[in-house]
Structure 1
Amino acid sequence: MWRNIASNALTFLVVLVFLAGGVLIWAQQEYSDAGPLAQPICVTVQRGSNMRRVSDELVSQGAVSSGTLFRLGADYAEKSAQLKAGSYLVPERSSMSEITEIVTKGGASTCGTEVVYRVGINQADVQVRELDPVSGRFEDVIEFNPADGTAPEQYDAVKQKPDTRFRVALAEGVTSWQVVNELREVDVLEGDVIDIPAEGTLAPDSYEIQPGDTLASVIGRMQEAQELILANAWANRAPDLPLKTPEEALVLASIVEKETGIPSEREQVAAVFVNRLNTGMRLQTDPTVIYGITNGEGILGRGLRRSELDASTPYNTYVIAGLPPTPIANPGRASILAALNPDTADYVYFVAKTLDPADGHVFAETLAEHNANVAAYRRLEAERANQ
């Protein structure tokens, strides 16, 4: 009898072990397999939250089939104590394992609301945008110019949300004065800078910021980024350029930046100026003359006068030989690369192709070709005047 009892107990224990093993395998598979989410969602992790609250939200949004299994899996992976506050995009069919990684990895929020402080050539504005998780695109909620006065109430409310992201975006070709002047209006930044950074030393790009960051620290990041871009471009420059230093390359890049907004023709514009420098021709570019008048402080807002084109100033490239003494704006990476790796064509002239700046320029190697191109442009002007 005891032998039968022992045998039955052993059998029961074996069954329990097999059942437990089967449950464990099933749980691991459920945790790792694609989840039930039919379309992407945003999941918000509040400061001080815990896995139970997060799992409840995931269940309510249909992202996981079992909040308990999600928590057990996070515990087993030793991630339950690693939650990071923020708003995160969870792709469709994400597994519990993938979602756990998303909400514990940290870094910048990938979903929710963001405020973008844009510093443009002609004006600055503030955009509040919301990510549509389904399309993956940000949709504008509000947009305003801080120079117009009081900010909308909705903007003030968004700033207080714990998962709101903040960015500063510099357009290519802005001046250092414009950058500092506009960043002083960004009300989530603190402090000030005494001196305007040297022209050309700020990298146009998008920079993630946090409320409480100092203006000086953000400027410092922009300077470090531009130093790195310039150093890498200089190290990989084309041979035999008429540029002695990286600083001269930055000057040329700023001229290229201001002469064209068409990405595909930056190298051609750079070739014109490189060829002129090589042959001793004057650069004869209006943006340098304009900078000599404004010092980069705002927009001229009118055409150049004959007296200004004839004036002998350090920035009047119709009068001086070679490059002006400093950059005339902050060039972007593409213009820096173009200045140091220009087109190999023998272009020395260019003029607008049509009356629409978006159509770019037509280039010429000889004065005769250039005169023909200019004549064609003048005819377009005359046709418009007669309409």
Structure 2
Amino acid sequence: MEFTARQKWAITITALLLCAALMAVLWFGNLSYQWKAPGPSTQDTVVLIEEGASLTRAARSLEETGVIADAKAFLHMARLFGGHKPIKAGEYTMPAGVSPAEALRLLQEGAVLLRRVTIVEGMSAIQVHERLMGEDLLTGPVDVPEEGTVLPDTYSFVRGETRQAVLERMQAAMKQTLDELWAARDPDLPFASPQEAVILASIVEKETSLKREMPEVAGVYINRLKLGMKLQADPTVIYPITQGKPLGRRIRLSELKAENAYNTYVISGLPAGPIANPSRLALEAVLKPAKTRNLYFVADGSGGHRFAETHDQHVRNVQNWRRFRARNGI
């Protein structure tokens, strides 16, 4: 059967169209494969996308850091497969071998790298300020917070966030925690306000590093407050001298006798304000203290304390502590 010239021409055109369609399918399939295939990076890579950066600038950053092989190819594929969601500024960790598709998804979802800053239990306000000012990836100034208003914990932040914003989260966490614990406090505690609980919790925090001892130490101070006894807490003597930083030496007799609003060897009741930022455990300890008759405690040489109900028992415990110090050259 012979084809006419017109038929031959139609067959040729059809064959060419089929070839073009097949090539387009293969081309598209290859691009789709490249879009989802692992990228060239062999290790996790931190990439900074600056505020206001376009997708083109972001693609160059990805190429410069070795996350993708070719910025132009990335942009071409992103327009075909990546949708129209804008990218978000920030610092990103791109996993080793991340595909172009996954890299764009991270940028569009704003899955930024979270940095962390830790406020240790018992840090003073000045130490919190120093910790925030020492975080180079935070921005802007921040004032020294009011003592006792920050909850010790580890807080996340993103590169470029303001120090003030991070501090406000720390203070909001303290308020929320204090409100919760105050509402569930034991009855008959000698506190006129939540602030007084914070003051005593800050003393407990500085008196013992053993979490299991905190309720017992709190119980001693609660008993003293109820009886009108002076608290006689060494950390309250140190606070006006160092503003919460370590003293680095033994307390002098003159300092024990110093008249100020914090020295609980001189004043009765609680000091004028907190001497540190207490932890949740310290707050729990003073709001649910141990039921004890003890009125005294002294170090036992193992990091803990010996407790006593009577002054005579306490004197013996102090003598044991002094002998321990002498034997060990403390």
User: Is the Cα contact below 8 Å between 1:251 and 1:328 reproduced in 2?
Assistant: yes
Q: CA deviation at 1:314?
A: 4.8
Could you tell me the TM-score, scaled by structure 1's length? 0.60
Hey, what does 1:257 align to over in structure 2?
205
- Larger CA Rg, structure 1 vs 2: 2
| Distance apart, 1:207 and its partner CA | 8.0
Residue 49 (structure 1) shift: 4.9
- Kindly indicate whether the alpha-carbon contact (under 8 Å) linking 1:51 and 1:80 is maintained by their aligned counterparts in 2: no
Instruction: For 1:184 and 1:60, locate their aligned partners in 2 and report how far apart those are by CA, in whole Å.
Output: 31
Q: CA deviation at 1:370?
A: 5.6
Distance in 1, matches of 2:259 and 2:17, equals 99
Q: CA separation of 1:87/1:315 partners in 2, compared to 1, >3 Å: closer, same or farther? A: closer
The aligned runs of 1:4-83 (5 Å cut-off) are: 13=17, 16-17=20-21, 20-21=24-25, 23-45=27-49, 49-59=53-63, 61-75=65-79, 76-78=81-83, 82=87
> CA separation in 2, counterparts of 1:19 and 1:345?
86
Q: State how far apart, in whole Å, the 2-side matches of 1:9 and 1:344 are.
A: 96
Mapped pair 1:360 → 2:307: no
* Alignment-derived partner of residue 102 in structure 2: 98
Question: Which residue in 2 is equivalent to 1:230?
Answer: 178
Which residue number in structure 2 is paired with residue 323 of structure 1? 270
Asked if structure 2 preserves the Cα contact closer than 8 Å seen for 1:251 and 1:323, the reply is: yes
Q: Distance in 1 between matches of 2:88 and 2:131?
A: 36
Shift in CA distance, 346/100, structure 1 to aligned 2, threshold 3 Å: farther
1:251 Cα offset (Å): 1.0
Q: Does the aligned pair in 2 maintain the 1:275–1:347 contact within 8 Å?
A: yes
Residue 126 (structure 1) aligns with: none
Structure 1 residues 204 and 385, CA gap change in structure 2 (3 angstroms): closer
Counterparts in 2 of 1:296 and 1:63: CA distance versus 1, 3 Å: closer
Structure 1 vs Structure 2 CA RMSD: 4.8
SS of residue matched to 1:239: coil
Please name the residue that 2:321 is paired with.
377
- 1:369 to 1:69, Cα distance in 2 relative to 1, 3 A: farther
CA shift for structure 1 position 92: 1.7
Note closer, same or farther for the CA distance 1:369–1:28 as it changes in structure 2 (3 Å cut).
Answer: farther
- Gaps of at least 5 residues in structure 2 are none
Q: Aligned runs of 1:135-284 on 2, under 5 Å?
A: 172-176=121-125, 189=140, 198-204=146-152, 223-235=171-183, 237-240=184-187, 242=189, 243-262=191-210, 265-274=213-222, 276-277=224-225, 282-284=230-232
Deviation of residue 347 (structure 1)?
6.2
1:128 matched to which residue of 2? none
Please tell me whether the aligned partners of residues 133 and 163 of structure 2 are also in contact (alpha carbons under 8 angstroms).
Answer: no
| 1-structure distance, mates of 2:188, 2:39 | 57
Do 1:168 and 1:209's aligned partners in 2 also have CA atoms closer than 8 Å? no
Q: Provide closer, same or farther for how the CA distance between residues 262 and 100 of structure 1 changes in structure 2, counting only shifts above 3 A.
A: farther
How many residue pairs get matched? 320
Q: Confirm or deny: 8 A CA contact 1:89 1:110 kept in the other structure.
A: no
Is the alpha carbon distance of 1:281 and 1:74 closer, same or farther for their aligned partners in structure 2, counting shifts above 3 Å? Answer: farther
TM superposition score normalised by structure 2 = 0.68
Q: State how far apart, in whole Å, the 2-side matches of 1:277 and 1:175 are.
A: 24
Aligned-partner Cα distance in 2 for 1:374–1:71: 75
| Partner Cα distance (1:79, 1:370) in 2 | 74
Compute the displacement of 1:250 (Å): 0.9
Runs of at least 5 residues in structure 1 that lack an aligned partner in the other structure: 112-166
Q: Identify the structure with bigger relative contact order (alpha carbons < 8 Å, sequence gap 6+).
A: 2
Structure 2 counterpart SS, 1:82: coil
Q: Is the 8 A contact 1:317 1:323 kept in 2?
A: yes
Instruction: Name the structure where strand makes up a greater proportion of residues.
Output: 1
Percent pairwise identity:
33
Q: Distance in 1 between matches of 2:8 and 2:258?
A: 114
Of residues 238, 261, 264 in structure 2, which corresponds to 1:290?
A: 238
Asked if the contact 1:289–1:308 (Cα under 8 Å) also holds between the matched residues in 2, the reply is yes
The 1:340/1:80 distance shift into structure 2, 3 A limit, reads same
User: Cα distance, 1:71 vs. partner?
Assistant: 1.9
On the 8 A contact 2:124/2:277 being kept in 1, the answer is yes
